[in-house]
């Protein structure tokens, strides 16, 4: 119920009470209520008929009447008591019946008091039939809620009967509108009416390309109609039940694209880019350039690609216990996971080429720190970081790690060059450089106790088979 009345919409009725204050030439106060005949009796002034008038009109009528008796007086008229009366709500409502309401109650308030409209009811074309003056008006709660059209949610009056109809016919709207969905259809609805019910066009809507699909002869054939705001066809195009409206979005409308740069730049962080335009050089300039510790050789650009072909198989294998994966499945799973974030092959040291490299939304650029170490992992006694020494081979770094461990696979050593994600054999590596990774694979550890247990179980199974065979043979004899 309204906390503040709309003076141009509220209609005066029997029981409304007024306080009237007169100042100036005389100080007087009058308190009076509208009687059953629609009259307000003011002592020493007379009678004014104000029933059915708006609150603003009633106040003006009262002032004019008082000024006839108290010339040049200042007059204040206050509605300080709002009448109560009985109305009925029927139809597709959860709790139909009679309700006592006040003059400040709107149709939507009564619907809420009566438990709301049931799933079969329509929130549009709600009938307001007045038994006193035989008038009929209509409320449209959707238009009120979505478009703030207060005229479609009027105040209630004495003698009103509200009827909620069934929802029989609908239209659908989707795409670039604020409230897409199904709406009850009313005879005479235009395309513009439904767009308003849907809260209007959303940001980025293509107002020149609005498609309406319509059934033909009650079968599954559809006729398309294209309407536009530019030629005003949305205002004149009349809808029919079951029409489907699609409001298209402008392509690439204000799409926010960004990349992230980290590491050895002066201002790391997230930066906006333009599609197919922003280069790596422009980004580095925005980020304040390189620091003195930047290592261009080990810098990378990571681009999110994500699994495409083989997605279903990828999801199946990802959830499968590792011990039940075949070697082929393990290789496939590893390769797909590695592929989700791909390192873009680009040598940032080649500045002319690298600085013209076109960035994409979501790219992650890392400018590596100039490090003077080599990392060695796997089958060595002391894996870890070893200080780089120019011109030295893999053997030098293995020696610095106190040599191979007992389970080292000495003939399968692999090298990962700084700034890459690919393993190389020693024969394909010309030299070791700062930031490189040396990996010495290890032989698979075999638990002797586990092997013994498995062998006993196998021999037990074989013995069971032999005993069963002998038993069957003796039985046959």
In a domain, 475, yes or no: no
58, 81, 104 - which closes a domain: 81
| Tens digit of each residue's pLDDT (9 = 90 or more) over 184-229 | 999 999 999 999 999 999 999 999 889 999 988 776 677 888 888 8
Q: Is 236 exposed, middle or buried (0-12, 13-18, 19+ CB in 10 A)?
A: exposed
The predicted pLDDT at position 100 comes to 94
Q: Are residues 95 and 36 in the same domain?
A: no
Mean pLDDT of the region 156-171: 94
Residue 308 CA to residue 328 CA, distance in Å, equals 19
pLDDT in tens, 281-324: 999 999 999 999 888 777 888 887 655 555 677 677 777 776 66
Residue 264 inside a domain? The answer is yes
Domain assignment present for residue 464? The answer is: no
Instruction: Please give the DSSP secondary-structure letter assigned to residue 312.
Output: H
Mark which of 66, 81, 96 sits at the end of a domain. 81
Q: Name the band, by pLDDT with cuts 50, 70 and 90, for residue 475.
A: low
275 plus 355 within the same structural domain: yes
Q: How far apart, in Å, do the first and last CA atoms of the chain sit?
A: 100
Give the residue from 142, 164, 186 where a domain finishes: 164
Containing structural domain, residue 115: 84-164
- Judge contact between 11 and 61, C-beta under 8 A: no
Q: Using the structure block, give the residue that is written with the tokens 């106060």.
A: 29
Q: What's the pTM?
A: 0.58
CB-CB contact of 149 with 155 (8 Å)? no
Q: What is the mean pLDDT of the chain?
A: 86
Q: Which residue has the higher pLDDT, 148 or 78?
A: 78
Asked if the structure places residue 23 within a domain, the reply is: yes
Residue bearing tokens 């699909």: 213
Residue 300 corresponds to which tokens in the numbers above? 């990378």
Considering the domain architecture, whether residues 377 and 348 belong to the same structural domain is answered as no
Cα–Cα nearest to 392, from 420, 440, 434: 434
Sequence-ordered alpha helix ranges (H) in 287-357: 311-318, 327-340, 351-355
356 & 283 share domain: yes
- Coil vs helix vs strand at 105: coil
DSSP state of 291: -
Whether residue 309 is found in the same domain as residue 323: yes
CA 469 to mean position of chain CA atoms: 69
The domain spanning residue 334 has which CATH number? 3.10.560.10
Q: What's the pLDDT score for residue 15?
A: 92
- The proportion of the chain whose per-residue pLDDT surpasses 90, expressed as a percent, equals 54
238 pLDDT above the threshold of 90: yes
CA distance 193 to 243: 13
286 plus 354 within the same structural domain = yes
Mean pLDDT, range 465-472, rounded to an integer: 58
Rounded Cα distance, 299 and 363, in Å: 13
- Residue 5's pLDDT is what? 82
Residue 452 lies in a domain: no
pLDDT band for 261, please (50, 70, 90 cuts).
very high
Interacting residues of 69 by C-beta distance below 8 A, sequence separation 6+: 44, 45
């Amino acid at each position: 119920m309204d906390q503040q009345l709309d003076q141009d919409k509220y209609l005066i009725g029997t029981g409304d009470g007024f306080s009237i204050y007169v100042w100036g030439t005389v100080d007087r106060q009058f308190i009076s209520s509208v009687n059953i005949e629609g009259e307000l009796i003011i002592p020493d002034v007379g009678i004014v008929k104000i029933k059915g008038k708006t609150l603003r009109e009633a106040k003006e009528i009262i002032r004019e009447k008082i000024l006839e008796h108290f010339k040049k007086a200042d007059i204040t008229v206050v509605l300080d008591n709002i009448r109560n009366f009985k109305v009925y709500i029927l139809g597709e409502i959860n709790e139909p019946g009679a309700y006592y309401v006040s003059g400040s109650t709107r149709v939507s308030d009564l619907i809420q008091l009566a438990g709301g409209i049931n799933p079969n009811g329509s929130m549009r074309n709600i009938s307001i039939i007045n038994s006193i003056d035989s008038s009929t008006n209509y409320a449209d709660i959707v238009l009120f809620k979505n478009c703030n059209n207060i005229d479609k949610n009027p105040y209630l009056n004495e003698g009103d009967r509200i009827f909620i109809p069934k929802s029989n016919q609908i239209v659908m709207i989707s795409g670039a509108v604020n409230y897409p969905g199904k709406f009850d259809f009313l005879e005479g609805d235009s395309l513009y009416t439904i767009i308003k019910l849907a809260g209007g066009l959303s940001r980025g809507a293509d107002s020149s390309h609005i498609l309406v699909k319509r059934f033909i002869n009650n079968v599954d054939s559809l006729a398309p109609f294209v309407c536009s705001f530019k030629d005003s066809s949305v205002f004149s195009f009349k809808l029919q039940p079951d029409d489907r409206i699609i409001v298209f979005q402008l392509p690439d409308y204000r799409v926010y694209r960004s990349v992230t740069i980290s590491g050895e730049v002066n201002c790391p962080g997230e930066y906006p880019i333009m599609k197919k335009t922003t280069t790596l050089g422009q980004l580095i300039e925005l980020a304040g350039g390189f620091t003195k510790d930047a290592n261009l050789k080990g810098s990378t650009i990571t681009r999110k690609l994500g699994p495409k072909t083989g997605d279903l198989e990828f999801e199946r294998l990802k959830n499968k216990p590792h011990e039940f994966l075949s070697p082929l499945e393990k290789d496939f799973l590893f390769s797909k996971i590695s592929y989700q974030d791909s390192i873009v092959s680009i040598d940032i040291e080649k500045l002319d080429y690298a600085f013209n490299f076109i960035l994409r939304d979501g790219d992650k650029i890392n400018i590596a720190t100039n490090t003077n170490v080599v990392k060695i992992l796997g089958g060595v006694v002391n894996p870890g970081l070893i200080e780089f020494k120019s011109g030295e081979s893999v053997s030098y770094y293995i020696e610095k790690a106190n040599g191979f461990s007992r389970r080292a696979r000495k003939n399968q050593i692999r090298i990962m060059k700084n700034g890459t994600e690919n393993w190389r054999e020693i024969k394909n590596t010309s030299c070791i450089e700062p930031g490189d990774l040396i990996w010495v694979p290890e032989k698979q550890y075999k638990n002797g106790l586990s092997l013994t247990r498995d062998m006993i179980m196998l021999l037990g199974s074989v013995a069971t088979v032999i005993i069963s065979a002998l038993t069957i043979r003796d039985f046959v004899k």
